[in-house]
Structure formats: structure tokens, C-alpha cells
Structure 1
Amino acid sequence: MHSHLDAAVLTGHPVVWLFAGAIVFVSAYVRATIGFGSGLIMVGLLTFLFPIKLVVPVVLLLDILGSVLLSGYDFKQVRWRELSWLFPGSVLGLTIGAWVLRSTPAQHLTLFLGVFLLAYVLYAVWVKPERLPRVGRGWGLPLGTFGGVIGSLYGGGGPPLVAYFQMRKLDKRAFRASFQAIALFDNAVRMGLYIYLGLLTLQLGAAFALLAPAMALGLWFGNRLHLRISEQAFLRGTLILLAVISAKYLLSAAV
């Protein structure tokens, strides 16, 4: 594992740059296809190469790029009323998570995250994704807070937001568009917090610039697949991705 993540390390180690770029490309492909997951996947894999406190800010910048590009494509599909309680919950959760990231080892919380994701996936499989109960918008406050905490700690607060949007019965285009809108808001808040806390530096910004083309390319290919898959395949794909992420965090906590 390299102790630094900057342009000098990436350009000085082409193989490391290639592996990091491949991780970013695959993560972006999944993000465009399913609507979420790039942050958690990138953090989960890039931490094999670099320390988590360096990876998370770079992933934040990559996620902002992804949210901007996808939001521009899907802007008319955003369901703004669905976001009314998610916004305040996210601000609260992001603030808590940024403070925890600065002061404690984030890995200590991976067990809780893995158990939550696994429980949701098992529940959704048991009742079938298309038969999940419809919940009120007020659920956006606790799930948005939880998503904000996860976003600050692990680079993506997608799973609680996915649970909310699935149980609000959004179709795949509205799901992806609304997710990008709240993700862009979350990322803007996180960027301000990270700069204030000294977690985001110019060196990490340079590393982002070198990985950004892989992000854009993955989004382009993933968007093509998103437009072709059925609603049922989309729902099942989200659950499969959540199960994979859950397994990753449970294994990380056990090691």
C-alpha cells in the first residue's frame, strides 16, 4: 500500500495508475447502470492501494463528476418532492460522519454497515423487490441521516437512499435521476466539510484529475446499458450490488 495518493505516485507507478483507473471505470459503469454504488465500490477497492483517509476525498471528487454528468442527462426525471426530508437528514449525517472520519478509524463501523445492508437485502428478497411496502416521505429524514454518515465515512451513502427510493416506488429513470440530485447535494456539503477539516488537499485534487477520464468513460458505457435493461432487472441488480457491498464490509470487519 502506498502512503500517498497524488499525481507523482500515479505517474511514477503506471501499473498502480492502471489498476486505480480500472477500479474507477468499473465503479462508474455500475453507477450509470444501476444508479448508485460507485463510491462504496471505489473506496472498498482503492483502499487496497492507498489509505482510506486519502481515498475517500478523491472518491468524493470523482462522485461529484459522476453526479454532474448523470444529473445533466436525467434532470427532467428528478422527483423533487421525494427529496424534501432527505436534504436535512443528509446535512446532519454528513456533519457527523466527517467528524468521525477525522477523529476515529472509520473501519470500526464496517460491521454495523454490513449487517444493515444484509438485513435489508434479505428482507427485500423475501418480499420481492417489486412488492416492498410503500413508506411515507418522512422516512427520508432517518434514512438520509444514515446515508450522510455512511457517505462521509465510506465515500457513498447509497444503500439507505436506495432503500428509501425503492420503497417510494420510483421507476428506474426517476430512481437514478433523484439519486443523482441528492448525491450532488451531499457531495457539495461533504466537499465543504472536507476542505474545512483539512481532509481535501491540492495533491488529492491532482490525483482526481488523472482518474477523471476513467470515470467519464465508465459512465458513458454504463448509461447505454441502463437504457436497455428492464425494471425487474434493474431492481434485482440493485439488490445484488447491495449484497456484494454487504459481504465486503462484513469480511472487512471480521479481518
Structure 2
Amino acid sequence: MSESCSKWIHANEPMPDDLSFYLVGWATTLLIAIGKSAFGGGLAILGIPLLATVTTPQNGAIMVALLVSLMDLMALQRFGRESWSKPDLTWILPGLVAGIGVGYLVFVRIDPRLVTLIIGVVTLLFTAHWFLRGRLAPPGTRPVSPGLALAAGAASGFTTFVAHAGGPPVAMYLLARGLPKTMLVGTTIAIFTLGNWLKLPPYIALGLQHREALWGALVLAPAVPLGIWLGRIVHDRLDQKTLFFWCYVLLALAAAKLTIDAGLSLLS
């Protein structure tokens, strides 16, 4: 974190005056928004580590939560109800809410590092199987599995609350379904709009205690619509096979980061 940005934080000034904050912050916000609109997500996991280079990790987490919630609303304008897989949402969303509730109830009893490690390892195995064998299989859409959808939603809700790692469980289920590319992204956005907005009140409360994070999110917010617009262009230009490939790449990278971070933390 730069010296001038540190002074801004400790002085509790209303607006950041460090150029590096704007450069890194805007680039990070654009990257996450493009990933949201092009692939349904996958890049938000990079937000806190990148922003932590120009602010505190806590402020970075607050900013990412606020910015991603704004991205969800804007992405929904470009991926409306016609792009949602409603049979999947019927089972995933109740599971998501239940998982968040369970995560809230057992949060103090669960080591989030262990949860993150398990999710990371399982996701790596899933993506490795696809790269080795799955992508060679003929294309096709698997039928809706209520049990798996409910389990994916519950696992996502639980892990997003206790470890901020809710993406992989739902991504594994939806990618295995083989949905058309726009339906895959639209359904993913619909799911995480609900999940992110359910988590928003605690982050707003934190933001009221850390006003510099609220100001930081405000000055980065103009990058959101630009990123959502660029992401939709990327989405429309990629064919189904290429988009799925990059979805799996992003999922594998996120899983690798989760596994490494959790493993190192447990060993320390």
C-alpha cells in the first residue's frame, strides 16, 4: 500500500488523493465487471488482493461487495429473464438462501480456511477432469437435477458466507449442464445477484464505520457500466466452445488461488 494512500486512510479524508488508487482501482473494477458480463463472474476473487495493494484488505472487501452488487444490477439489464434457466433457479435459489442461513448460524464454529481448501480442491479436480476428458465429449445439455441443483445452491450459499468462495459450487453444476452460453451467464448472474444482495447489509454497516471505503467505492463506480458494456461485447463475440473454455480456465484459476491461500494459511 502506497504511503499517500495510507495517509488518506488514517486521516479519514473523504476522497482518495493517491493516483495509484485510481489506476489500480479502475483497472480492477473494469476487470471484474468485464468478467461478470462476459462469463457470469469468476474475476471478483481477484478484487480484494488487487485493491489491497492500494488500500487495506478490509476496505478492499467492502469496496468489492458494494461494486459487485452494482455490477449485478447492471448485468441484469443485459441478461434479463429470457436468459435465465428457470428450472435450475427453482432449485438453486432456495438452496442458496438456506446455505447462507446455515453459514450464519455456524460461522463461529467453522474454520473458513478448511472450507475454502475443500472447495478449492474439489473444484480443481472438476476442472482437471473437464480439460482431460470432458471437453472431448460431444456437446449437449444434461437434464435438470433437482437434488444436485439444491446441493449446489446450498454449498454456494454456505461457502459464500463463511469463506467468500460461493462461485465454484454453482459454476460446477451449471457448466456440467451444458446450457447455451447466454443462458449460462444469465442464470449465473441471477443467482449471485440474490447472494450478493443478501450479504450487502453487513458490508454497508461496515462501510458506515469505514467511510473511506464508501468514498473509494463511489469513485470507482463509474468504471462499472463501462466494464459491463465491454463484457457483453466479449460475450457476444465468443462462440459457445470458446466461452466455455474460458469459463473453465477462470474457474480453475479461482480454485487454485483458493487452495493455495487456504493451504498456506493452515500451515502457518
Give the TM-score of the pair, scaled to structure 2.
Answer: 0.80
Identity of aligned residues (%): 24
Q: Aligned-pair distance for 1:127?
A: 2.9
Q: Tell me what 1:184 maps to.
A: 193
Which residue identity lines up with residue 69 of structure 1 in the other structure? M
- For residues 108 and 206 of structure 1, the distance between their equivalents in structure 2, rounded to whole angstroms, comes to 34
Rate the CA distance shift 1:90–1:41 in 2: closer, same or farther, 3 A.
same
- For residues 20 and 238 of structure 1, the distance between their equivalents in structure 2, rounded to whole angstroms, comes to 24
Match of 1:151 among 148, 160, 178: 160
Rate the CA distance shift 1:48–1:105 in 2: closer, same or farther, 3 A.
farther
Q: How does 1:54-133 map to 2 (within 5 A)?
A: 54-75=59-80, 76-97=82-103, 106-107=112-113, 109-129=115-135, 131=137
Which residue identity lines up with residue 99 of structure 2 in the other structure? G
Q: Aligned-pair distance for 1:226?
A: 0.6
Which residue identity lines up with residue 65 of structure 1 in the other structure? L
2:258 pairs with 1:252 = no
2:230 pairs with 1:221 = yes
Q: Aligned-pair distance for 1:5?
A: 9.9
Q: What RMSD over aligned residues (CA atoms) do the two structures have, in Å?
A: 3.1
Which residue identity lines up with residue 223 of structure 2 in the other structure? A
- For residues 105 and 95 of structure 2, the distance between their equivalents in structure 1, rounded to whole angstroms, comes to 16
Number of corresponding residues: 253
Moved more, 184-193 or 200-209: 200-209
Whether the 8 Å CA contact 1:7–1:206 is kept in 2: the answer is no
- For residues 65 and 119 of structure 1, the distance between their equivalents in structure 2, rounded to whole angstroms, comes to 32
- For residues 38 and 212 of structure 1, the distance between their equivalents in structure 2, rounded to whole angstroms, comes to 17
Whether the 8 Å CA contact 2:116–2:163 is kept in 1: the answer is no
Whether the 8 Å CA contact 1:39–1:155 is kept in 2: the answer is no
Rate the CA distance shift 1:67–1:51 in 2: closer, same or farther, 3 A.
same
2:208 pairs with 1:201 = yes
Whether the 8 Å CA contact 1:57–1:199 is kept in 2: the answer is yes
Moved more, 201-210 or 242-251: 201-210
Q: Tell me what 2:29 maps to.
A: 24
Moved more, 119-128 or 230-239: 119-128
What do the CA deviations read for 1:51-76 (whole angstroms, capped 9, x no partner)? 44433332222112111111111212
Whether the 8 Å CA contact 1:79–1:174 is kept in 2: the answer is yes
Does the residue aligned with 2:178 lie in a helix, a strand or coil?
coil
List alignment gaps of at least 5 residues for structure 2: none
Give the TM-score of the pair, scaled to structure 1.
Answer: 0.84
Q: Aligned-pair distance for 1:41?
A: 2.3
Whether the 8 Å CA contact 2:15–2:215 is kept in 1: the answer is no
Does the residue aligned with 2:237 lie in a helix, a strand or coil?
coil
Whether the 8 Å CA contact 1:32–1:70 is kept in 2: the answer is yes
List alignment gaps of at least 5 residues for structure 1: none
- For residues 221 and 11 of structure 2, the distance between their equivalents in structure 1, rounded to whole angstroms, comes to 13
What do the CA deviations read for 1:137-188 (whole angstroms, capped 9, x no partner)? 2212221122123323555622211111122221110111111111111122
- For residues 158 and 6 of structure 1, the distance between their equivalents in structure 2, rounded to whole angstroms, comes to 36
Moved more, 93-102 or 220-229: 93-102
- For residues 132 and 14 of structure 2, the distance between their equivalents in structure 1, rounded to whole angstroms, comes to 47
Which residue identity lines up with residue 45 of structure 2 in the other structure? L
- For residues 5 and 191 of structure 1, the distance between their equivalents in structure 2, rounded to whole angstroms, comes to 25
Which residue identity lines up with residue 77 of structure 1 in the other structure? S
